[in-house]
């Protein structure tokens, strides 16, 4: 796959507005501000492919990026962010759920969690759902530059242990967009899933 030449395709509020549902899509999901958009930029070696922000709730639509061979990356709105009006929140959560449940080309999920605050209730719900839907998961512990190497390794082992209760195919790796750490795990996972 050609991550370096990834191209923005479209933004949509509902799945009916998305491009045709063939080929393979890997969705990037996680709580608001977890670092989804940043990880996509780091993977693709582009600074402004997906919009990032210090303010949680930046990504409000489903954004699709083409990486060739009929494979797409999907930047999803973050879940569980409280500081937006309730109607708006419900609207995104609806489009998020709709995407996850109805998109046929969805073949794998990358779940991003801040290494300092992993496995919140919403993350656990998403993991449970992915396993029940037979979707392979890569759980990335993001912003790992915020912890010293011993502490982040310990955190990774703790999370690996904790996700065993879900069963299914869940891999856990450390990631930092800032320090470009763990990118090979992300690219390897996506290639494996898209060509599967
Ligand atoms: P929403 O679109 O709001 O759901 O957020 P998001 O998950 O797409 O997060 P985004 O990539 O916009 O990043 C949120 C904030 O975290 C930004 O201020 C980033 O600069 C910061 N951030 C992202 N990745 C890293 C990282 O690897 N290290 C550090 N230190 N900060 C990061
Ligand atoms: Mg985002």
Ligand 1 atom with minimal separation from the 60 CA: 2
What pLDDT shows up at residue 77?
81
Pocket of ligand 1 contains residue 142 by CB under 6 Å = yes
- Please state, rounded to an integer, the average pLDDT across all residues of the chain: 90
Provide the pLDDT confidence category of residue 58 given band limits of 50, 70 and 90: low
In sequence order, the β-bridge partners of residue 109 are 27, 137
What pLDDT shows up at residue 32?
86
Model confidence, pTM:
0.93
Q: Which residue has the higher pLDDT, 77 or 120?
A: 120
Residue nearest atom 18 in ligand 1 by C-alpha distance: 54
**Measured in angstroms, how far is the CA atom of residue 142 from the centroid of ligand 2?**
13
Residue nearest atom 30 in ligand 1 by C-alpha distance: 143
What pLDDT shows up at residue 89?
67
The Cα 16–Cα 93 span in angstroms is: 16
User: pLDDT digits over 145-193, tens only?
Assistant: 999 999 999 999 999 999 999 999 999 999 999 999 999 999 999 999 9
In degrees, rounded to 5, the angle at the alpha carbon of residue 164 between the alpha carbons of residues 144 and 150 is: 30
Domains observed in the chain: 3-194 (3.40.50.300)
Pocket of ligand 1 contains residue 83 by CB under 6 Å = no
**Measured in angstroms, how far is the CA atom of residue 109 from the centroid of ligand 2?**
15
Question: For residue 64, how many other CB atoms are within 10 A of its CB?
Answer: 19
What pLDDT shows up at residue 60?
67
Contact assessment for residue 105 and residue 25, using Cβ atoms and an 8 Å cutoff = yes
Residue nearest atom 31 in ligand 1 by C-alpha distance: 143
φ and ψ at 164, to 5 degrees? Answer: -60, -25
**Measured in angstroms, how far is the CA atom of residue 25 from the centroid of ligand 1?**
22
């Amino acid at each position: 796959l050609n991550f370096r030449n990834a191209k923005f395709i479209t933004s949509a509020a509902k799945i009916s507005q998305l491009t045709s549902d063939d080929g393979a899509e890997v969705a990037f999901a996680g709580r608001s501000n977890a670092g989804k958009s940043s990880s996509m930029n780091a993977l693709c070696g582009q600074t402004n492919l997906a919009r990032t922000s210090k303010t949680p709730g930046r990504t409000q639509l489903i954004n699709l990026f083409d990486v060739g061979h009929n494979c797409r990356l999907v930047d999803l709105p973050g879940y569980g962010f409280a500081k937006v009006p309730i109607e708006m929140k419900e609207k995104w959560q609806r489009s998020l759920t709709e995407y996850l449940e109805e998109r046929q080309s969805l073949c794998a999920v990358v779940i991003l969690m801040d290494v300092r605050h992993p496995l919140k209730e919403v993350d656990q719900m998403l993991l449970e759902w992915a396993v029940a839907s037979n979707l392979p998961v890569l759980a990335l512990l993001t912003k790992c530059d915020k912890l010293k190497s011993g502490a982040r390794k310990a955190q990774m082992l703790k999370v690996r242990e904790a996700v065993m209760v879900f069963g299914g195919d869940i891999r856990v790796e450390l990631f930092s967009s800032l320090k470009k750490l763990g990118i090979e795990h992300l690219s390897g996972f996506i290639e494996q899933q898209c060509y599967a």
